[in-house]
Amino acid sequence: MKKGFVLWFTGLSGAGKTTLADQVYEKLEKKGYNLECLDGDIVRKHLTKDLGFSKKDRAANIERVAYVAKLLSKHGVGVISSFISPYRREREMVRKMCPNFIEIYVSTPLDICEKRDIKGLYTKARRGEIKNFTGIDDPYEKPKNPEIEVCGDKEERIDELVEEILDYLNKVLGQK
């Protein structure tokens, strides 16, 4: 059985977290890994739909996800997680809970994230229609020491970034 792990993609909305996570998932699936994907939008639709976006609710959201990730990884599942997870404290809690935790900070600049905003969330946040929006009126606390930091500003670099993440994962798991 292969070792379980948690790849935790964090960054602003529109940074490219889900795009990278999906590509990593596809590559690992082809290699026969037992995987599960936990994406912020999907989790909020099903597992944490009772929560809003206050600091307290965001913490509860991440705590629930961390518990699920811990259970899965403990049983040999590779967990690919994509969450804004704006607060260091919550990310550190996930790190402590989950074996083979790898934090991947997608450090795409805010202006690029806003340009990619197909849902119009940044525009609504800037108009005051959405409160507590990360990067606008709620902070994003950058990771101090992520295992991997990538900038998702250029879509043509996706394959290169995916390979960087896979190389790191192989080193951590001691696999080829």
Q: Which CATH number fits domain 5-173: 3.30.70.260, 3.40.50.80, 3.40.50.150, 3.40.50.300?
A: 3.40.50.300
Cα–Cα dist 45/64, whole Å: 14
Which of the residues 13, 73, 85, 107 is marked catalytic?
A: 85
| pLDDT of 91 | 95
Q: Is 85 assigned a catalytic role? A: yes
Q: Is the pTM of the predicted complex or chain greater than 0.85?
A: yes
Q: How confident is the model at residue 68 (pLDDT cuts 50, 70, 90)?
A: very high
> Tokens 């804004």 appear where?
84
Q: What is the pLDDT of residues 149-164, one digit of tens each?
A: 998 787 768 899 999 9
| Phi/psi at 36 (5° precision) | -140, 140
* Domain edges within the chain: 5-173
Q: How confident is the model at residue 60 (pLDDT cuts 50, 70, 90)?
A: confident
Cα–Cα dist 153/101, whole Å: 24
Q: How large is the average pLDDT for residues 49-67?
A: 85
| pLDDT of 111 | 93
